[in-house]
């Protein structure tokens, strides 16, 4: 199975001819380099590289630990961008007085830890000050932007969701299919250790990462990108049958060829997850496992609560139990903004009107992250993804179903509400991966002094209507679509999504770089290579699959 689509490391990378028989461009890493300057030279590939190409950056890092260097979240930039060998390394800079990254000055210039809410006031370490900070200063850099009232309402909504689930379970009146019992999993310990060992390609600074949902769309790309730059990676996926398992198996097979072992298991199995984190000696966990899809939630609510909410609790419990708890980066969704009318959506907006049960479960996960951060000092970073597209997508996603309909000569259904078209902030998966890696690279450790609860939007910032999207897809596929406009079903879709990504840009240089037309060309090349020009290589379970 071709695996070149996983070639995601940095803008310094270029495809290796020996290792890339298919001409599928590598996914871009937006915002991680200065595009106008010369890039480091690519070393010739001997054919032994994991994903088809390697970075070569021999320059020394500029600005690390220099006297007087500011540590206030400033991006450490190389002369020609961020050095690939530095991507993912921990920053260990300090202010005067020994305060760590994330601290802020008190009134007279001394420093006080920003993360004070779970410890009570701590006095300034400088004897000249001796004062405890007031509330305004304690909250000056608080990562969460919710006010008390929206947060309380959101918590109440999450509690209501859980109580509804419990009541339905006890009454037996819920007719949706419940997820199967959590199966026991026996880990292949040698394979886990080997998969989690960094290959030394980043100067010994590689992470050890456990990725849940690694056989899923985004998890697959993130796993390949991390392995490609030298990090140790092990994946876990339950291979549920929400959509054809053959596609998940193909992704897992591609990861296996790259040296990433995928455990067939369930994140709700806390004992197994704890053992996996221990065997990996994980420094980070990327939590991508979830039941996806807005419309499917209307008919299968139990699965969403069990997989998304209970599954996240299981993951956080396993992380909490680790001897050295890893930092957690988890997937949230733009759907949490629900019926908000203020655009673009910003992390500080109130999120109290979720339009679907799926959105409510994602909001519940954000609240759970806050709880585990506050009570257990876990470092947690939530990423709200905006309408991701690209190679290896799920068959239930709009652009995948559009492509199949066009290839097979069927009408493309375009939803409308009150005569208005839906518009989405379509974001290429390569830009999303860049954001995930940026969040990992800047995630503080899970310690009482340094842990933070962060939340970022990852989008393209350029929403387009679905009709415009179909027009671009026609050009990419070289096919004409039969447009059929239909009323949007009342299953939780919103009219518009639009991301404000300035917070992610400030924190780790996130800047989406892939125009829609370019991203769809990459997708079209993969689609025809994987399924064939007329879909003749499509697996039986995919051929028979009909999305909701």
**Phi, psi at 153, each rounded to 5°:** -65, -40
Token pair in block for residue 299: 């008919």
Q: Range with the lowest mean pLDDT among 89-103, 209-223, 257-271, 451-465?
A: 89-103
The 10 Å CB-count burial string (b at 16+, else e) for 319-358 is bbebeebbbbbbbbbbbbbbebeebbbbbebbbbbbbbbb
Count of other CB atoms within 10 angstroms of residue 474: 17
- Three-class SS state of 96: helix
* Least confident window among 348-352, 386-390, 498-502, 531-535: 531-535
The answer to whether 437 and 226 have CB atoms below 8 angstroms apart is yes
Check pLDDT > 90 for residue 286: yes
Phi first, then psi, for residue 193 (nearest 5°) are -60, -45
Higher pLDDT pick, 439 / 1: 439
What would the pLDDT profile of 139-191 be if each residue is shown by its tens digit? 444 444 444 455 555 555 555 555 445 444 444 444 455 555 566 678 999 99
Mean pLDDT over 368-389 rounds to 98
pLDDT recorded at residue 25: 43
Cα separation, 325 vs 147, whole angstroms: 29
Residue 186 CB: number of other CB atoms within 10 A?
Answer: 9
* Least confident window among 116-130, 246-260, 533-547: 116-130
Helix 217-228 crosses helix 245-257 at what angle (to 10 degrees)? 0
Domains and CATH numbers, the chain: 187-543 (3.40.50.720)
- Rounded to whole angstroms, the Cα distance separating 323 from 345 reads 38
pLDDT greater at residue 228 or residue 106: 228
What's the whole-number mean pLDDT along residues 232-240? 97
Given the residues 307, 358, 522, 527, select the one marked as catalytic: 358
Which segment of 11-20, 125-134, 455-464, 515-524 scores lowest on mean pLDDT?
11-20
Q: Which two tokens stand for residue 94?
A: 């300090």
Q: Which is higher by pLDDT, 126 or 192?
A: 192
Contact 353, 338 (CB under 8 A): yes
Q: For residue 92, is pLDDT > 60?
A: no
Burial string for 134-151 (b: 16+ CB within 10 Å, else e) reads eeebbeeeebbebeeebb
* Contact call for residues 26 and 229 (beta carbons, < 8 A): no
First to last CA, the chain: 28
Residue 174: CB atoms within 10 A of its CB come to 15
CA distances in angstroms from 455 to 40, 203, 293, 366, 382, listed in the order given = 33, 30, 21, 9, 5
- What is the pLDDT confidence band of residue 251, given thresholds at 50, 70 and 90? very high
What does the pLDDT read at residue 201?
Answer: 60
Confidence class of residue 68 from pLDDT cuts 50, 70 and 90? very low
SS3 state at 358: helix
Partners of residue 385 on adjacent β-strands: 333, 458
Residue 358 annotated to the active site? yes
- Top pLDDT among 535 and 215 is at 215
Of 86 and 301, the one with more pLDDT: 301
Percent of the chain with pLDDT over 90: 54
> What integer pLDDT is reported at residue 155 of this predicted model?
56
State the average pLDDT for the chain. Answer: 76
Nearest Cα residue to 282 out of 229, 225, 224, 236 = 236
Confidence of residue 74 (pLDDT cuts 50, 70, 90): very low
**415-448 pLDDT, tens per residue?**
888 778 899 999 999 999 999 999 999 999 999 8
Q: What pLDDT, on the 0 to 100 scale, is given for residue 341?
A: 86
Among 341, 336, 338, CA closest to 367:
336
475/286 Cα distance (integer angstroms):
35
Closest CA to 358 of 300, 288, 293: 293
Pick 485 or 135 by higher pLDDT.
Answer: 485
Q: What percent of the chain has pLDDT over 70?
A: 65
Q: What is the pLDDT of residue 294?
A: 83
pLDDT above 50 for 299: yes
d(CA 335, CA 331) in angstroms, rounded, equals 12
Q: DSSP 3-state helix, strand, coil percentages of the chain (rounded to 5)?
A: 35, 15, 50
What is the average pLDDT across 280-304? Answer: 91
Mean pLDDT of 538-546: 84
Answer yes or no: is pLDDT of 8 > 70: no
**31 versus 381: which is more confidently predicted?**
381
At residue 202, the pLDDT reads: 60
pLDDT for the residue 384:
99
531 pLDDT above the threshold of 80: yes
- Could you read off the pLDDT of 479-512 as tens digits, one per residue? 999 999 988 877 667 889 999 999 999 999 999 9
Condensed to tens digits (0 to 9), the pLDDT of residues 309-333 reads 999 999 999 999 999 999 999 999 9
């Amino acid at each position: 199975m071709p695996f070149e689509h996983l070639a995601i490391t940095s803008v310094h990378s270029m495809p290796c001819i020996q290792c890339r028989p298919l001409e599928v461009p590598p996914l871009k890493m937006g915002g991680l380099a200065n595009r106008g300057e010369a890039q480091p030279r690519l070393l010739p590939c001997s054919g032994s590289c994991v994903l088809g190409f390697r970075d070569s950056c021999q320059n020394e890092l500029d600005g690390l630990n220099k006297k007087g260097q500011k540590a206030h979240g400033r991006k450490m930039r190389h002369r020609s961008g961020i050095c690939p060998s530095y991507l993912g390394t921990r920053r260990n800079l300090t202010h005067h007085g020994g305060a760590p990254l994330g601290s802020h000055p008190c009134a007279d210039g001394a420093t006080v830890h920003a993360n004070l809410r779970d410890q009570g006031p701590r006095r300034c370490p400088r004897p000249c000050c001796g004062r405890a900070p007031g509330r305004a200063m304690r909250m000056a850099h608080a990562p969460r932007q919710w006010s008390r009232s929206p947060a309380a309402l959101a918590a109440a909504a999450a509690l209501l969701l859980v109580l509804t689930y419990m009541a339905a379970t006890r009454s037996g009146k819920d007719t949706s299919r419940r997820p199967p019992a959590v199966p026991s999993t026996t880990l292949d310990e040698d394979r886990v250790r080997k998969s989690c060992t960094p290959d030394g390609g980043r100067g010994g600074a590689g992470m050890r990462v456990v990725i849940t949902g690694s056989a899923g769309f985004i998890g697959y790309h993130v796993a390949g990108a991390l392995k490609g730059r030298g990090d140790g990676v092990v994946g876990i996926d339950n291979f549920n049958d929400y959509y054809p398992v053959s596609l998940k198996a193909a992704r897992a097979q591609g990861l296996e060829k790259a040296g990433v072992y995928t455990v067939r298991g369930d994140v709700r199995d806390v004992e197994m997850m704890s053992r996996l984190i221990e065997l990996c000696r994980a420094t980070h966990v990327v939590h991508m496992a979830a039941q996806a899809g807005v419309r499917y939630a209307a008919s299968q609510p139990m699965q969403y609560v069990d997989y998304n909410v209970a599954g996240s609790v299981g993951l956080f419990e396993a992380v909490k139990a680790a001897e050295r708890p890893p930092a957690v980066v988890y997937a949230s969704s733009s759907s949490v903004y629900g019926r908000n009318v203020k655009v673009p959506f910003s992390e500080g907006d109130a999120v109290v009107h979720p339009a679907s049960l799926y959105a409510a479960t994602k909001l519940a996960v954000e609240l759970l992250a806050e709880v585990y951060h506050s009570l257990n000092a876990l470092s947690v970073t939530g990423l709200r993804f905006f309408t991701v597209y690209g190679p290896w997508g799920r068959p239930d996603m709009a652009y995948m179903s559009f492509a199949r309909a066009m290839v097979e000569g069927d009408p493309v259904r375009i939803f409308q509400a009150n005569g208005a078209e839906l518009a989405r902030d379509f974001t290429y998966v390569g830009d999303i991966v860049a954001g995930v890696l940026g969040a990992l690279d800047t995630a503080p450790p899970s310690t009482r002094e340094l842990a933070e609860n962060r939340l970022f939007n990852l989008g393209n910032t350029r929403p387009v209507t679905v009709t415009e999207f179909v027009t671009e897809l026609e050009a990419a596929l070289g096919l004409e679509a039969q447009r059929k406009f239909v009323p949007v079903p009342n299953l939780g879709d919103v009219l518009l999504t639009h991301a404000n990504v300035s917070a992610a840009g400030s924190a780790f240089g996130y800047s989406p770089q892939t125009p829609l037309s370019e991203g769809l060309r990459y997708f079209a090349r993969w689609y025809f290579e994987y399924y064939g020009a007329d879909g003749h290589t499509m697996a039986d379970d995919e051929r028979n699959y009909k999305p909701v």
